[in-house]
Amino acid sequence: MERKKFLSQSLTALGVAFVAPITKACSKTDVIGDTDETGSGSCTTTPSETEGPFPTKSPSALVQSNIAGDRTGVPLSVKIYITNRNNSCAALANAIVDIWHCDAAGNYSEYGGTGMQSTNYTSVHWLRGRQTTGSNGLVTFTSIFPGWYSGRAPHIHVHVYNSSGRSLLVTQIAFPTDICNTVYTTASPYSTRGTQDTQNSRDNVFADSLDFEMSAVTGSVSEGYTLTHTINVSA
Amino acid sequence: MKQIQLAYRKIIDAQSTSVWERYVFEDSYKEFLMQFQFYNTENKYYTFSRLSAAIPAAEKLHFLVSTAVTGYITQLQNKIPGIQNTLGKIFLPFHLYCFEIIDSDIRDKKAHRVAIIFYSEPLQWLDTIGEHLLISIHTGKESTHNKEMIRTELVKLQPFMSIYSLQKTNHATAIPGQDILS
């Protein structure tokens, strides 16, 4: 059988879905084309697949709105408005907002003891996320209600950058104690640990600035909660 | 017959030329510049080595900056880049890796150097032929065309490649990584 005919019949048998990648591999304009190709003929020494299949630009794994990953808990929608003190506290667009917080058991995602990560990144980057503000200065994350760990009141970490990545503010968001008490005593899996051991008023981060860092939280254990908070930065 | 896992350390720096490596270089440096600021609160430091020596918590930058390359790791489709069999094919499967910042400098992009160590899936080490390992990536008991034959690969010992774990048994059970690296 002629090679062309064989390929044609094979592709037909494989289905349309396989045609595109194969065509892409043959394209001279493909992005992989500027790797170490050594030309055609018998002198080729570097296989074309050396650099891996079709590298393309990929955003950070942090760039995700739903940051729950594989963590379980009471759903929490996080709405953070970024405003600019240098512009009459108007909404700040295009600000990059990182948030991270602990899971229901009080643990943060990071390396295990071996320093190794799985290629399934959601198993290690949970409860960390990055969004960019729109024209209204708002970023929204879908997460779970954080737990607590000894010595700290419940909180969410926030790092705000300008659009070019320059740090504008590192801060934390506090939670109303009555909501925390409800979640930590009635909802699974929080209730096995009970209420937090550190109140906002005795927390070494929030004690002197709680008015600025306290969030508004509405909702219920069954319906989930929505956290709303405004952060003023100097941009 | 022994079961082994290979490790391969790929270094990426300003001299790296492939498209995949350039993406990793550029995006990991950009992420480094962002995350560095969290620990460099007094703006006293410029390099990762100086910062992490002064502020041990900055060691978390390895993990935090790794978020920038996760997408590129995924694009490898679980095949370790840079290790070819003697047929010139990339073949070695992995699902665990470790990203590290060798060093970097917020003033000088050319000083940015990172490494990714890829850990292979468990392999059967069947023989050693000269500078080559004869291995099989099929450690299970899956059927072959001929019961007397198993599929094998020849891979050359090379710089930055190592055997990092070994199990003297015919049973294909995973070797806990923490026992090896801790």
Dump pLDDT digits (tens) for B12-54. Answer: 999 999 999 999 999 999 999 999 999 999 999 999 999 999 9
Average pLDDT of chain B to the nearest whole number: 89
The CA distance from B27 to A120, in Å, is 19
* Record: contact B178-A113, CB cut-off 8 A: yes
pLDDT value at position A55? 86
pLDDT value at position A119? 73
Identity of the residue numbered A89: C
Residues of chain A with Cβ-Cβ distance to B60 below 8 Å are 110
* Record: contact B18-A57, CB cut-off 8 A: no
pLDDT along chain B (182 residues), means of 10: 93 96 97 98 96 95 94 93 93 93 98 97 95 86 64 95 85 46 36
Q: Is B67 on the interface with A (CB under 8 A)?
A: yes
pLDDT value at position A53? 61
The CA distance from A141 to A119, in Å, is 23
Mutate one of B32, B66, B70 to test the A interface: name it (highest A CB count within 10 A). Answer: B70
Contact A125/A69 with Cβ under 8 angstroms?
yes
pLDDT value at position B123? 95
Sign of CA dihedral A29, A30, A31, A37: negative
Which tens digits make up the pLDDT trace of A22-68? 333 333 333 333 333 334 445 545 445 555 567 899 999 899 999 99
What residues of chain A score a pLDDT lower than 50?
Answer: 1-41, 44, 46-47
What's chain B's length in residues? 182
pLDDT value at position A213? 96
Tokens of A43: 């002198």
* Record: contact B70-A61, CB cut-off 8 A: yes
The CA distance from B46 to B31, in Å, is 15
Q: Is B37 on the interface with A (CB under 8 A)?
A: yes
